[in-house]
Every structure is written in structure tokens, then in C-alpha cells.
Amino acid sequence: MREKWIVETKKGDFDSLARRLGVSPLVIRCMINRGLEEESDMRQYLQGTVADLPDPLQMKDVDRAVQILLQAKKQGWKAAIASDFDCDGIFSGYLLWRAFGRIGLDSRIFTPDRVREGYGLNERIIDEALEEGRSILVTCDNGIAANEQVAYAKERGMTVIVTDHHEVQEEMPLADAVVDPKQEGETYPFDGLCGAGVAYKLICALYDICGIPPAEKEEFLEYVAIATVADVMELRGENRILVREGLRRLSGTANCGLQALMEVQGLQGRQITAGHIGFILGPCFNAAGRIATVKESFDLLMEEDPETALERAEQLKKINEERKQMTEEGADKAYRLVEERREGGTEETDGKLPDILILLLPDTHESLVGIIAGRVKERYHHPVIVFTRTEEGLVKGSGRSIDSYHMFRGLMKCRDLMVRFGGHKMAAGMTLRERDLSELERRLNEESGLTEEDFCPVVHIDAPMPVGYVTEQLIRDLSRMEPFGVGNPKPVFAEQHFQILAGYRLGREKNVLKLRVKNDRGNTCDAMLFRGAEDFDRFVVREWGETELKRMYEGKENYLDVAFTYYPSVNEYQGIKRIQIQIVGYCRISRKGRKD
């Protein structure tokens, strides 16, 4: 898939801002490229702490929710926490359970069965809670679309608090308090929190009113960080502070279960990054809710015995390994479906794909369709919805989108086809009748509003930068921009002409590519490609032939002349530090400057 490389050319007073903020002018350029124009915004971006977070009482209905909880405690009521089975739901529920216990409010977490019941609040949860004498219901990471279920709980005499972060649909649930920064009339200055972030703000207000020391609130930041990254929220504004502060605490966590999970994953004693959450820790918690039971995750978080915690962590790791294997098999099937569609097109389509890809994988585990949709979206850069068959006549789907397509709005136009539905701009989940799939595909594609340019991924280059410019100090300055992720991407730099001096395959599966490269100025360094080594080989063969690929791996002189987009880093081995680059993308650029 070809990429469109664009060098950002935004203007700014780089040098003077750099002097005042104590960073490289290149960091100032990168911050301006990310929309930070005022010095005060840059200072908070670099130095913001929990003291800079907005007052939770600014969020609509937080004060009302706190009063309800305090009244419930006073009356001796018991609470039911209606959570979800993904990472955000797990940590939202765990936070509320811990906080309610701290103020003396008896509570238990209830979650839906992913396969039998699907996402969100349901009547079974309400009935079970009532049977246990629980008269207050608090949702987390769900509830904003559960109008019928909230009404059912109210009819049965329950007091209901909804905490959620998803988009509001046609009507609000008639709960006693609704805490969701996306609701109409909201006064809170940041609407990008995940479900655990919203729960955390409620807890902060509750603790403040109860006079609980601030340090106890801050103990929860590590959990909010995991949920925020795992739920792929934008790492801007308040989220950036929550995640950065949470990551600082995570390596030294007092939670026995998290300690055990980091140990079995080889992360013990390391500084945890957003990448470790996104690719290692978060998927383990998600996997339990996908192919086992969410109870496995809650049991690990609540475990206080180190030996038992290690056993539970090993089990969670094993579940995730099984999930990864099932995902690979499902993704391969999805890729074949896409290629069959491309090859089976008409003369008019000329091998082009539909704007919105609708794929049915009838035998795939329904908990994996979202991950598979994400894989297909990454490979083809089209919005994708992957469906699987569930009960008789119904299919359940999960969608992932690209920046230029608002999936929630597109699907809202097809709301009449849905049995259940929810989501936001970049992702959505839904259930509908299988006979309506073709109609859904027709409508979405007819009204997509997408053009061919939208299907070409754009790589925004922060600055052209020869590798000889990179120093350890510059890398330290760039690290102050962490945590990186959605909304705060890792800076990307570029240089046009590299000779490939040698190539090596690394890793247990030989899927990591290490290149020794030299630029036109004679600077040499290692270049690492951590994903897509096979794709790079195919690129070399396509551009220069099999012989040149062989010569590259033999370390012999060859004709390869490659442009890289990259991020610089330091590799330390046996006490020796070397600057290297992490390859983001590559292409062949002619010496006249034309990208081939």
C-alpha cells in the first residue's frame, strides 16, 4: 500500500520558545505540528501534573451522583456495579468497587456474558442485583444507550447512576444521574475520557467530599492509564496527564495482580510505557473477556496472595496466547475475502475495493471480530466492519474506521437496520439480521462521501532530518513528548537516500529486520524494522530484484537506495549505547527527487 508523505511546514518562534521551555527547537516544531500554539499549552503538555486537572464537579451530574452515593451509604444500601467485559470496563468496575469499599458502601461487580448477552446493561444483571438486595445501580463504560434497561431498573425501584463515555444516541436514559462528558449541556472542558476516566472523576469528587487524602485518589491513576491506552483514547489534554502520571506509578504498583502479570510478561523492574500497555498488558485483560470469562481479570486485580497472583497471571497470559492464534487465523480469512472481492470485481471497478468493507466470517469467535476489523483496516486503509453469525438469523459485527470517515454517524443513518448498536467516530459494535447485511453495505457505500485520496494513508513528517543530526540529548528531549499514541503520535522524521550495507533477521520467528545503513553524508547507523520484514523483502525484490535482496542479506555491495521515515532511539547493549533509528516507512526516491 502506497503512502502519501507530507512534510509539516507550520511556522513558529522555535528558538526562543525552546530556550524558555528548555527543550530542543525540534521539540517545539513537533508540538506546533500537533496543534499546540500557545506557550502555556506547550508548558502544560511538557510539565502538566494532576494539579492541572479540571475540578470533577464541573462535570454534569457528578455532584448529584456523589450525593446519591453518600445517601446510599447512610441508608445502608448495597450497590451493584454494572461493568463491561473489555479492559476499560474491567478497570472502571474495579475502580468503583475499590472506592465504594473505601467509603463503606457494599458493592459487587456484574458483567454481561459476551457471547450469550452481548455488550451493556441487561435485565438479568438487574434481576440478580435485586435478588441480592442491591437497591442502587451504577453503570460504568456503558449505560448511555441502555434506555430500556435503565427504565426497567427504575420500574423495579432501583436508584440508577449512569457513568459512561460513549456517544449519546437519540434519547438519554432516564437515570437519577448521568455522568458522561459527551452529553448535551455538558460544562466539563474535556470530553475525551475513557470509561475508567469518567469513573475516576466521580471518585475524585466523592473522596474530596468525604475528606479522603489526595494520595489515595492518585493510587488509582495507574488503572486509569491502562484503561485509557487499551481503549485507544486520544492522548491529549487531560488524558495525557492521566496516562503519564499513571505510567510513572505502574512500575512500582502495590497491586499484587499487576505485579504478577508484569513478571510473567518480562516487564518486572522496567519503566512501563504506553506501548507495553497497548501490546502486552491491555490485551491480556481484554482476552479474558473475549474467549474466557471476565472473572479471570477481576480475580487477578483483586488477588492479594503473591503465589496465587502468579498462577492467575500465567493463566491470563495463556488465554491471550490462545486469543492471538485465533486472531491470526481469522485475519488470514478476512484478507482472503478482501482479495477475492478485488479479483472478482467488474470492469467498472477495475480491481478497486468498496469504500466501506463489510465482511462476514461466520465461524469466527464473535469477541475477535473487532481485532480482525482493525487488522484489515490497517492493511487496506478502508473502514471495515467484520461480522460473525451468532444466534439464529442474527450477525454481530465490530467496525474500525479511518480518520476521514465518522463511523458512528454513518451507521446512525442505518439505525433502522440495527437490533443493537453503539460506538463512536473510529469504532462501533452492532447486531443485525443477516438478511440486512447487503442493505447495510449498499447504504453505507452509497453515502460514504469518501474519495480515492482517503484510502491512501498520509504520513505526516515532522521534519526532514539527516541521521547525523541525532544525539542522545535530542532523544532525551523527544522523550519528554511521551506518552505517545492516538492524538499524540510519535514524531516522524525522514531522510531520502540510504545505502543498505547489510541486513539481518532477528527474533525467535526471524520477523524483525535489522539493517546497517549509510546516508549520503557518510553517517552510518542501525535501522530497525519491528513489523513487516516480509513486506520489506517484497519491496526490495519489486524495485531491484532477487539478486540485490540476496546481496543485502550477505552484506555485499548492492544497488539499494532507500528513503526512510523514522524515529530515533538509543540501543544499549552490555553497557554500550548506540544511536539507531526505528523505521516507520520506506520508499524509493529517484535522485531527481521524484518518489517512484
Instruction: Inform me whether the pLDDT recorded for 363 exceeds 80.
Output: yes
Is pLDDT at 349 greater than 70 in this prediction? no
- Helices (runs of H) and strands (runs of E) counted in the chain: 22, 18
Average pLDDT of every residue of the chain = 93
Asked if pLDDT for residue 132 goes beyond 60, the answer is yes
With a pLDDT cut of 90, the percent of the chain lying above it is 82
Average pLDDT over residues 245-262: 96
Tell me the per-residue pLDDT of 188-221, one tens digit each, with 9 for 90 and over.
999 999 999 999 999 999 999 999 999 999 999 9
- The b-or-e profile of 390-425 (16+ CB within 10 A means b, else e) is beeebbbbbbbbbeebebbebbbebeebbeebbbbe
pLDDT in tens, 531-579: 889 999 999 999 999 999 999 999 999 999 999 999 999 998 888 899 9
All 3 cell numbers of residue 480? 519528554
Residue 43 has pLDDT above 70, yes or no: yes
Q: What integer is the mean pLDDT of 79-88?
A: 94
Q: What is the mean pLDDT of residues 313-330?
A: 94
Q: How far apart are CA 103 and CA 520, in angstroms?
A: 65
Distance, CA of 466 to CA of 563 (rounded, Å): 11
State how far the Cα of 467 lies from the Cα of 474, in Å rounded to an integer.
11
| Residue 591: band (very low, low, confident or very high) from pLDDT cuts 50, 70, 90 | confident
Q: Tell me: cis bond preceding 181? Omega within 30 of 0 counts.
A: no
Residue 347 pLDDT > 60, yes or no? no
Which class for 446: exposed (0-12), middle (13-18), buried (19 or more C-beta within 10 A)? exposed
pLDDT top residue among 341 and 46: 46
Q: What is the mean pLDDT of residues 30-48?
A: 95
Mean pLDDT for 418-423 is 86
Can you tell me whether residue 313 is helix, strand or coil?
Answer: helix
Phi-psi category of residue 111: left, alpha or beta, with phi > 0 → left and psi -120 to 50 → alpha:
beta
CA atoms of 283 and 87, how far apart (whole Å): 8
pTM of the model: 0.89
Residue 119 banded pLDDT, cuts 50, 70, 90: confident
Indicate the range of 72-76, 421-425, 538-542 predicted with least confidence.
421-425
Residue 168: the pLDDT is 87
What is 535-570 written as a DSSP string? HHHHHHHHHH-HHHHHHHHHT-----EEEEEEEEEE
pLDDT for the residue numbered 533: 92
Locate cell 532523544: which residue? 475
The full 3-state SS of 326-373, as one line of letters, equals: HHHHHHHHHHHHHHHHHHCCCCCCCCCCCCCEEEECCCCCHHHHHHHH
pLDDT band per the 50, 70, 90 thresholds, residue 10: very high
Instruction: Let me know if 507 is exposed, middle or buried by CB neighbors in 10 A (0-12, 13-18, 19+).
Output: exposed
Specify the pLDDT at position 548: 97
Q: Which residues touch 116 (CB under 8 Å, ≥6 apart)?
A: none
352 band by pLDDT with thresholds 50, 70 and 90: confident
DSSP string across 487-534: TBPPP-EEEEEEEEEEEEEESTTS-EEEEEEEETTS-EEEEEE-S-HH
Among the residue ranges 310-314, 389-393, 511-515, the one predicted with the least confidence is 389-393
Query: What pLDDT shows up at residue 572?
Result: 85
Position 180 scores a pLDDT of: 97
Q: Residues 6 or more apart from 335 whose CB is under 8 A from it?
A: 376, 379
Mean pLDDT of 82-93: 94
Residue 308 makes CB contacts below 8 A (sequence gap 6+) with none
Q: Give the other-Cβ count within 10 Å of 185's Cβ.
A: 5
Percentage of the chain exceeding pLDDT 70: 98
Task: Return the pLDDT at 210.
Answer: 97
Q: Answer for the pair 393, 467: CB distance below 8 angstroms, yes or no.
A: no
> CB–CB of 400/427 below 8 Å?
yes
What type of residue is 44? Q
- Is the pLDDT score of 596 beyond 60? no
